[in-house]
Amino acid sequence: MSYEQAARDAGVDLDMTLLRAGNFDPVAQVHDVLFVSGSIALAPGGGGIDYVGRLGGDMDIETGQASARGAAEAILASVHQHLGSLDDVLRVVRLTGYVASDPGFNAQPKVINGASDLMIEVFGDAGRHARSAIGVAELPLGASVEVEAIFQVKP
């Protein structure tokens, strides 16, 4: 099965309207490497941010995982819109996940599993990646999770 089809089967809207909140490129490509800017979960139909809040306070781990998955969906949409097809991806190299966290919350890796699991669901073994999960006090626009990614793609 193609990566495009696997993403669609996983419920990813590859044509979603992506939120741009600054003066930067959503994707930068250098040779066969794509750097995807930090992405957040978006409400269906481009209606803004889907998950606002902080983990350990007003949000539980399962909701945080859904937020991380939503951020990964936005990453896949960015890659699709940049390349024209996810089938040009050779592998997911790295994810960095930022989790808005209350003091004392230390389950950031569990939260970012929501993003990692989607990459493996879509790309199989090529979706396995290096990763960091970092707790922060605040994220742009009140988002609960932000994820950035690096991909190797066909030259």
107: which DSSP letter?
-
Strand residue runs (E) in 6-129: 27-30, 33-39, 89-100
Q: What is the average pLDDT score of the chain?
A: 95
Distance CA 111, CA 132 (A): 11
**Higher local confidence (pLDDT), 43 or 137:** 137
Q: How far apart are the C-alpha atoms of 130 and 108, rounded to whole Å?
A: 15
**CATH code assigned at 90:** 3.30.1330.40
Helices 61-83 and 108-123, interaxial angle, to 10°? 40
Phi, psi dihedral angles at 28 (to 5 degrees): -120, 130
| Host H or E run for residue 151 | strand 145-153
Q: How confident is the model at residue 47 (pLDDT cuts 50, 70, 90)?
A: low
When pLDDT is averaged across residues 40-67 and rounded to a whole number, the result is 89
64-92 pLDDT per residue, tens:
999 999 999 999 999 999 999 999 999 99
The answer to whether the pTM exceeds 0.75 is yes
Domain housing 126: 3-153
Q: Give the count of domains, the chain.
A: 1
User: Average pLDDT, stretch 99-113?
Assistant: 98
- In the sheet with 27-30, reading across from the earlier edge strand, the strands are 27-30, 33-39, 145-153, 89-100, 130-136
Q: How far apart are CA 42 and CA 74, in angstroms?
A: 7
